[in-house]
Structure 1
């Protein structure tokens, strides 16, 4: 089941974020669990949105996202901060349900576009296929360098 996150989900969301961080391109950066939890609470309170995937009463994944206007337009876009799935549940269906829920939320909010990136470096080819199966189109690369 996919549902909006509530404050009591935050500790589990932070656990999932720690797992993601440790195996991602971001692992060279410090992880601040308190900051992460506070940010999730702010998103839940309306700064953006967090949806969770729940199986048997356990949160096994989530997507954190925001909505903003384009810098050149008043049209709205939805963007993901992160999608995080328990490694044992990364079969695709959970992520697909989270992405589709985020798409519907964006439509309800009046957004014109959904932007999702793959900055973690985890299962890039599979994630591209997943996003394409959800209707997203490749529109350019995301670049990064260590400073």
Structure 2
């Protein structure tokens, strides 16, 4: 988890999460992250693990505003619970989160991180189409 915390600090220090918070969550939850030398950092975190790391890293809670909510409305006395609720609001499996993550991949590569592909192949048409009903 120390390597994830270091990655989060890099993301925070370089303001990469601004306007890309769902993408950051998508990468940390659903993608393989390794260093340029091939050392695997993560194969994906659970929501609870990510919330805990965000709390420990003292990630900027004001970023939650881009999810359409005030961080003080999300468990203001429990930072881990606040991040857990924020992850839920971010819709990390949405087309938007995947697109944001894809935009972050080359930026993280410049800092020595290799991010794997999305675990799901989603396109805008299939994501917005209503589910088919069985007859």
Which band: TM-score by shorter chain? Answer: under 0.3
With the length of structure 1 as denominator, give the TM-score of the two structures.
0.25
With the length of structure 2 as denominator, give the TM-score of the two structures.
0.27
Higher strand fraction (1 or 2) = 1
Structure with the bigger RCO (C-alpha within 8 Å, sep 6+) is 2
